[in-house]
Amino acid sequence: MASVVVDVMLKPEILDPQGKAVHGALPRLGFEGVTDVRQGKRFELELDGEVTPQRLDQVRALAATLLSNPVIEDFDIRVED
Protein backbone atom coordinates (compact mmCIF):
# COMPACT_ATOMS: atom_id res chain seq x y z
CA MET A 1 0.00 0.00 0.00
CA ALA A 2 1.14 3.51 -0.74
CA SER A 3 -0.50 6.87 -0.22
CA VAL A 4 -0.28 9.61 -2.77
CA VAL A 5 -1.62 13.05 -1.98
CA VAL A 6 -2.85 15.37 -4.69
CA ASP A 7 -3.35 19.01 -3.71
CA VAL A 8 -5.45 21.10 -6.08
CA MET A 9 -5.48 24.89 -5.87
CA LEU A 10 -7.12 27.55 -8.00
CA LYS A 11 -4.52 29.34 -10.10
CA PRO A 12 -3.34 32.54 -8.38
CA GLU A 13 -5.07 34.77 -10.94
CA ILE A 14 -8.47 33.08 -10.48
CA LEU A 15 -10.81 34.70 -7.97
CA ASP A 16 -11.49 32.46 -4.96
CA PRO A 17 -14.80 33.57 -3.40
CA GLN A 18 -14.76 30.70 -0.89
CA GLY A 19 -11.33 31.70 0.38
CA LYS A 20 -12.54 35.29 0.59
CA ALA A 21 -15.55 34.18 2.65
CA VAL A 22 -13.31 32.28 5.06
CA HIS A 23 -10.95 35.24 5.23
CA GLY A 24 -13.84 37.57 5.96
CA ALA A 25 -14.96 35.39 8.87
CA LEU A 26 -11.63 35.40 10.68
CA PRO A 27 -11.76 38.92 12.19
CA ARG A 28 -15.29 38.24 13.44
CA LEU A 29 -13.85 35.28 15.35
CA GLY A 30 -11.06 37.38 16.76
CA PHE A 31 -8.26 36.03 14.53
CA GLU A 32 -6.16 38.95 13.41
CA GLY A 33 -3.19 39.25 11.09
CA VAL A 34 -4.27 36.83 8.36
CA THR A 35 -3.83 38.77 5.13
CA ASP A 36 -5.34 36.27 2.68
CA VAL A 37 -6.96 32.83 2.47
CA ARG A 38 -7.06 30.56 -0.58
CA GLN A 39 -9.12 27.40 -0.41
CA GLY A 40 -8.14 24.23 -2.24
CA LYS A 41 -8.79 20.50 -2.31
CA ARG A 42 -6.73 17.61 -1.01
CA PHE A 43 -7.14 14.11 -2.44
CA GLU A 44 -5.64 11.08 -0.72
CA LEU A 45 -5.15 8.18 -3.11
CA GLU A 46 -4.39 4.73 -1.75
CA LEU A 47 -2.46 2.64 -4.27
CA ASP A 48 -1.79 -1.09 -4.08
CA GLY A 49 1.87 -2.02 -4.36
CA GLU A 50 4.86 0.22 -4.81
CA VAL A 51 4.83 3.76 -6.16
CA THR A 52 6.81 3.51 -9.38
CA PRO A 53 7.52 6.35 -11.80
CA GLN A 54 4.93 4.81 -14.12
CA ARG A 55 2.32 4.80 -11.37
CA LEU A 56 3.10 8.41 -10.56
CA ASP A 57 2.65 9.27 -14.22
CA GLN A 58 -0.78 7.64 -14.03
CA VAL A 59 -1.64 9.71 -10.96
CA ARG A 60 -0.42 12.82 -12.75
CA ALA A 61 -2.68 12.02 -15.71
CA LEU A 62 -5.59 11.34 -13.37
CA ALA A 63 -4.98 14.61 -11.56
CA ALA A 64 -4.85 16.57 -14.82
CA THR A 65 -7.92 14.82 -16.25
CA LEU A 66 -10.37 14.55 -13.39
CA LEU A 67 -9.11 15.89 -10.06
CA SER A 68 -8.24 19.31 -11.46
CA ASN A 69 -9.39 21.52 -14.30
CA PRO A 70 -6.17 22.82 -15.85
CA VAL A 71 -8.02 25.88 -17.14
CA ILE A 72 -8.44 27.25 -13.62
CA GLU A 73 -6.46 25.00 -11.28
CA ASP A 74 -2.92 23.78 -10.56
CA PHE A 75 -2.10 20.54 -8.78
CA ASP A 76 0.78 19.16 -6.78
CA ILE A 77 1.54 15.47 -6.16
CA ARG A 78 3.54 13.92 -3.34
CA VAL A 79 4.04 10.44 -1.96
CA GLU A 80 3.27 10.03 1.72
CA ASP A 81 5.66 7.98 3.87
Partner 1 sequence: MRLGVVTFPGSLDDVDAARAVRIAGAEAVPLWHGDHDLRGVDGVVLPGGFSYGDYLRCGAIARFAPVMTEVVEAARGGMPVLGICNGFQILCEAHLLPGALIRNDHRRFVCRDQRLRIESTTTAWTSAYEQGQQVVVPLKNGEGGFVADGDTLDRLEGEGRVVARYVGANPNGSLRDIAGISNASGTVVGLMPHPEHAVESLCGPGTDGLGFFTSAVRTLTATI
Could you tell me if 7 and 42 are in contact, meaning their C-beta atoms sit under 8 angstroms apart? yes
Instruction: Give CA–CA dist 50/72, Å, rounded.
Output: 31
In whole angstroms, the minimum distance from the beta carbon of 5 to partner 1 comes to: 16
Contact window for partner 1 (CB under 8 A) among 27-35, 46-54, 55-63, 66-74: 66-74
Helices (H), 1-81: 17-28, 53-62
With CB under 8 A as the contact rule, the residue among 2, 5, 20, 47 that binds partner 1 is 20
3-state secondary structure of 64: helix
64 binds partner 1 (CB under 8 A): no
55 binds partner 1 (CB under 8 A): no
With CB under 8 A as the contact rule, the residue among 21, 34, 61, 64 that binds partner 1 is 21
Name which of 14 and 52 has its Cβ closer to partner 1: 14
Written as one letter, the residue type at 24 is G
